[in-house]
Amino acid sequence: MTHVSIQEIALDDRDGGPYAITTGPDGALWYTLVHSSRIGRLVPGGEPVSHPLDPDRGPTIITAGPDGALWFTGYRAHRIGRITTDGQVTEYPLPTPECGPFGIAPGPDGALWFTETAADRVGRITTDGRVTEFPLPVDGAFPSAITAGADGGMWFTLNQANAIGRIDAGGAVTVHPLPTGAAAPVGIAAGRDALWFVEIAAGQIGRITHDGRITEFPLPDRTARPHAITVDAAGTPWFTEWGGNRVGSVAPDGSIAEYDLPTPGSEPHGIALGPDGALWTALENGSLARVDPSR
Q: Each residue of 130-148: pLDDT tens digit?
A: 999 999 999 999 999 999 9
Alpha carbon distance 29, 239 (integer Å):
17
Local confidence band at 3 (pLDDT 50, 70, 90 cut-offs): confident
Tell whether the model's pLDDT for residue 197 goes beyond 60. Answer: yes
Report yes or no: 197 and 205 within 8 Å, Cβ to Cβ. Answer: yes
Question: Of 51, 78, 210, 269, which is the active-site residue?
Answer: 269
Tell whether the model's pLDDT for residue 105 goes beyond 90. Answer: yes
Alpha carbon distance 61, 146 (integer Å):
10
Specify the pairing of strand 4-10 against strand 29-33: unpaired
With a threshold of 0.95, does the pTM exceed it? yes
Q: Average pLDDT, stretch 152-162?
A: 98
Tell whether the model's pLDDT for residue 292 goes beyond 90. Answer: yes
pLDDT of 21 reads 98
Q: Average pLDDT, stretch 182-197?
A: 97
- Which residues are CB-neighbours of 56 under 8 A, at least 6 positions away? 37, 76, 77
Q: How many CB atoms lie within 10 A of CB 9?
A: 17
- Which residues are CB-neighbours of 269 under 8 A, at least 6 positions away? 18, 19, 20, 227, 228, 240, 242, 281, 282, 283, 284
Local confidence band at 185 (pLDDT 50, 70, 90 cut-offs): very high
| Segment (H or E) for 112 | strand 112-116
Local confidence band at 88 (pLDDT 50, 70, 90 cut-offs): very high
Q: Average pLDDT, stretch 51-58?
A: 96
Instruction: Tell me the pLDDT tens digit for each residue of 33-43.
Output: 999 999 999 99
pLDDT of 1 reads 55
Q: Average pLDDT, stretch 193-203?
A: 97
Tell whether the model's pLDDT for residue 93 goes beyond 60. Answer: yes
Alpha carbon distance 50, 230 (integer Å):
24
Residue 227 assigned to a binding site: yes
Residue 284 assigned to a binding site: yes
CATH number of 4-293: 2.130.10.10
Tell whether the model's pLDDT for residue 295 goes beyond 90. Answer: no
Q: For this structure, is 3 an active site residue?
A: no
Tell whether the model's pLDDT for residue 211 goes beyond 90. Answer: yes
Tell whether the model's pLDDT for residue 12 goes beyond 90. Answer: no
The candidate with the shortest Cα–Cα distance to 61, out of 94, 30, 15, 92, is 30
